[in-house]
Amino acid sequence: MYVHRHVCVHAYSIFACLALFLFGQVKSDLVKEVAYTRRKQHQASLQYYCTLNALQYRKRVAMLEPMLGYTQAQVLSSCGSTNSVRPHYLSVFKFSI
């Protein structure tokens, strides 16, 4: 009976070792899958914020352009010139935005 028990214990330890090895493989696969999912989520969130920033920039420019055009027209009309002579500071201001 002792031999039978020893064989059972030995068989159990082999099964336990195999189970631990398979669990390690599954755990390794899960860790890789979680890392891949996190990278994909991070990339999607970066793309979302990049698109949001571009949209906010377009809205800001769409609001600023008419005001800059109006201001430029007021300055040019107060200088007494039409479109032929433009003060240097307006072109610098326009390109600095």
Among 1-10, 24-33, 45-54, 88-97, the minimum mean pLDDT is found in: 1-10
- Which amino acid is it at 30? L
CA angle, 64 as apex, 62 and 68 as ends, to 5°?
125
Counting the structural domains of the chain, the total is: 1
pLDDT digits over 46-89, tens only?
999 999 999 999 998 888 888 888 888 888 888 765 555 555 65
Boundaries of domain holding 73? 2-96
Confidence at residue 69, expressed as pLDDT on a 0 to 100 scale: 86
Query: Mean pLDDT over residues 2-29, rounded?
Result: 62
Q: List C-alpha distances in Å: 48 to 27, 33, 34, 54, 60.
A: 31, 22, 21, 10, 18
